[in-house]
Amino acid sequence: MLRIILTRHGETLWNIEGRVQGFLDSPLTEKGKIQARLLGKRLKKEGITKIYSSDLARAKGTANIIRDELGLPEILLNEALRELHFGEWEGKVWWDLRQKHAELFSIWDTGPHQVQIPGGETMEEVSERAWNFIQALRKKHTNETICLVTHGMTLQLVVKRALGIPLAQWENVPWQHNTAVNIFEFHKDGTIQPILLADHSHLEEDMQPSGGINKKE
């Protein structure tokens, strides 16, 4: 049996500013670094043997802090764990985009998978690339526990896939706050058992996710 622990990077400057990140990047805040440290301390008891991370700096920085806490020699980077590419929206403020593209966001709010962002990826494409990577890991690792550090939307899509929830369904899927923990067991018979979803109880009260951050980034 393979156990996969999936998590999101710590808080970034653009999370606070409400900017779209995607393939662009902004640094972890001091709070984000502390969140990652607390996550690493929490994960010490899980027996993690490998850490895989998106190659974007905010995920890589989070993974390195976890690696340091766990005493592992390296992190393994892979583009498949990157955030959804938001195309022309990247670097822009969410609320400005909402005002400029009101009709598009009226669709986004009912189901963001229906929106094709100019110059960006579809959610189907992100779901496929991330899930194909996880399937490859299932063949590579057996009887291990590994950790994957990724991004909000990518993590949301992977969790939906693991739970067997259609891409079009959003209402009953918990949002993945910074450093949220998800644990799945992948059994040899092909079944997937969820153990924990979107949990951030390792964060002290003053390290809890800030309000006002757009949920679709």
pLDDT in tens, 127-175: 999 999 999 999 999 899 999 999 999 999 999 999 999 998 887 788 8
201-210: long-range pairs with CB below 8 Å, 24+: 202/38, 202/39, 202/41, 202/42, 203/35, 203/38, 203/179, 204/38, 207/31, 207/34, 207/35, 207/38, 208/177, 209/11, 209/177, 209/178, 210/11, 210/15, 210/16, 210/31
Model confidence at 210, pLDDT cuts 50, 70, 90, reads low
Q: Catalytic: which of 11, 17, 83, 144?
A: 83
Identified catalytic residue from 9, 113, 177, 200: 9
129 part of a folded domain: yes
- What is the reported pLDDT for 119? 96
Using one digit for the tens of pLDDT, what is the confidence trace for 45-88? 999 999 999 999 999 999 999 999 999 999 999 999 999 999 99
Told to judge if 83 belongs to the known catalytic residues of this protein, a careful annotator would answer: yes
**What is the count of structural domains for the chain?**
1
29 inside domain: yes
Q: Which residue has the tokens 């190659």?
A: 55
Q: Is residue 34 in some structural domain?
A: yes
The average pLDDT across 38-47 equals 97
Please indicate, yes or no, if residue 212 is contained in any of the structural domains: no
Q: What is the CATH number of the domain that holds 156?
A: 3.40.50.1240
Q: Would residue 214 count as lying in a domain?
A: no
Residue 189 in any domain: the answer is yes
- CA separation (Å) from 173 to 149, 169, 198, 215? 19, 8, 9, 12
Over 80: is that where the pLDDT of 206 sits? no
**Do the domain assignments include residue 213?**
no
The range of the structural domain enclosing residue 91 comes to: 2-207
**Angstrom distance (rounded) from CA 105 to CA 86:** 14
Instruction: Say whether 144 is catalytic.
Output: no
